[in-house]
Amino acid sequence: MGKKKISTENWSRPIGEVRTLFNLLKKFLIRERKRLIDNHVLFRVVGDISVLPHETIALIKDLEETTKFNQGIRLNFAFNYGGRKEIVEAINKVFDKNEKITEENIQDNLDLPEVDLLIRTGGEKRISNFLLWQMAYSELYFTNTMWPDFTKKEFNSIIEEYKTRERRFGNITKTSCLEKSNLVSLKNKELILSLRDV
């Protein structure tokens, strides 16, 4: 799963930038629709899309509906998304079901699964309220490359470096990234990318 992200913090940007982000999303939905369908990608948006123009919401809903049974890679587009907000909403869902608050119940009510590797582009060295719960044991990689210049070659190089890491997941015993990683094995066909630098 790829993950594109426009966060709740983006609303503090100048209105011109926000409009540009809206237009980029609309162009993406129109331009990539056929390719996503042809490649059996399951597309969905997480976050609050109610602030978008009606035409863009209709494009999102149509693409989600058209691809909902696809069995290929899952592409999640995070729009108006914030990690803290997602956790609060998950806890409220558990409360609504009159269930005990447990880590498992919270995890089950989040929009996205745990993350193996976060690649942050643009020279920023922070996670910026992105997938806070899911990144508890994530590996982090920071690159100065701006997103538009990020290439397949650099991505493959990062994956090769990631494969050499040993992860402990809170344990004393080291675990090879190859043993536990959804990213390397693609068992779940999940890959999450943060595109903060659009």
Question: pLDDT by residue (tens digit) across 44-85?
Answer: 998 889 989 899 999 999 999 999 999 998 888 888 889 999
Please indicate, yes or no, whether the overall pTM of this predicted structure exceeds 0.85: no
Q: What are phi and psi of 176, to 5 degrees?
A: -65, 145
Between 19 and 103, the higher pLDDT residue: 103
Task: Identify whether 8 is part of a domain.
Answer: yes
Instruction: Outline where the chain has alpha helix (H).
Output: 15-38, 54-67, 83-96, 103-108, 152-163, 177-180, 182-185
Q: What is d(CA 94, CA 105) in angstroms, rounded to the nearest whole number?
A: 7
Alpha-carbon distances of 182 from 14, 115, 132, 177, rounded to whole Å = 38, 8, 18, 9
Which stretch of 18-27, 91-100, 101-110 has the lowest confidence by average pLDDT? 18-27
pLDDT band at 41 (very low <50, low <70, confident <90, very high): very high
Task: Identify whether 117 is part of a domain.
Answer: no
Q: What is the pLDDT of residues 135-168, one digit of tens each?
A: 998 899 999 999 889 999 999 999 999 999 888 7
The count of structural domains within the chain is: 1
Q: What is d(CA 105, CA 107) in angstroms, rounded to the nearest whole number?
A: 5
Nearest one of 139, 128, 133, 136 to 111, comparing CA atoms: 133
Q: If you average pLDDT over every residue of the chain, what do you get? A: 82
Task: Identify whether 42 is part of a domain.
Answer: yes
Nearest one of 116, 118, 108 to 177, comparing CA atoms: 116
Task: Identify whether 154 is part of a domain.
Answer: no
Quote the domain boundaries for residue 60: 1-80
pLDDT band at 43 (very low <50, low <70, confident <90, very high): very high
Q: What is d(CA 134, CA 115) in angstroms, rounded to the nearest whole number?
A: 6
Task: Identify whether 20 is part of a domain.
Answer: yes
Task: Identify whether 36 is part of a domain.
Answer: yes
What crossing angle do the helices spanning 15-38 and 54-67 adopt, rounded to 10°?
A: 20
Task: Identify whether 143 is part of a domain.
Answer: no
Task: Identify whether 72 is part of a domain.
Answer: yes
